[in-house]
């Protein structure tokens, strides 16, 4: 991918996997707190969590979640029926990708993740 703004620091990472825990809003908030603390990412507002349950297809039931960071934000899409998570970290500072992946795997009890960074 062509870097159109080499003078602007940007770090993006996608982490996906099938999780093995029970999910609700408090668990999602706990994860955001844990991940941001461990990666030294600073938030400036509370997480925004929407439930997609009952809003469309049953296959897409779950949560859409976002926490704003001083250096950008983190989005999580959660499919509760399939027990699948798709997480995007977008920051204007560098973070340890391996650590982000391991934190996510451990918290969500994911056996195998697919990741992509750019």
For 70-117, the pLDDT digits (tens) are 989 999 999 999 999 999 999 999 999 999 999 999 999 999 999 999
pLDDT band per the 50, 70, 90 thresholds, residue 22: very high
pTM over 0.75: yes
- Cα–Cα distance between 102 and 13 in angstroms, integer? 13
57: which 2 tokens?
């297809």
- Cα–Cα distance between 101 and 56 in angstroms, integer? 30
pLDDT > 70 in the chain, percent: 97
- Cα–Cα distance between 12 and 28 in angstroms, integer? 20
Burial of 35 (C-beta count, 10 Å sphere; 0-12/13-18/19+)? buried
- Cα–Cα distance between 18 and 84 in angstroms, integer? 4
Q: What one-character DSSP code corresponds to residue 46?
A: -
- Is the per-residue pLDDT at 39 higher than 80? yes
């Amino acid at each position: 991918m062509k870097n159109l703004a080499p003078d602007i620091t940007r770090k993006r990472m996608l982490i996906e996997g099938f999780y093995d825990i029970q999910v609700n809003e408090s668990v999602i908030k706990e994860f955001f707190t844990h991940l941001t603390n461990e990666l030294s990412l600073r938030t400036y507002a509370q997480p925004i969590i929407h439930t997609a349950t009952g809003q469309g297809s049953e296959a897409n039931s779950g949560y859409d979640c976002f926490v704003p960071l001083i250096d950008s934000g983190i989005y999580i899409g959660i499919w509760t029926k399939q027990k699948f998570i798709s997480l995007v970290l977008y920051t204007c500072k560098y973070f340890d990708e391996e650590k982000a992946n391991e934190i996510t795997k451990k918290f969500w009890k994911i056996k195998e993740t697919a990741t992509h960074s750019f």
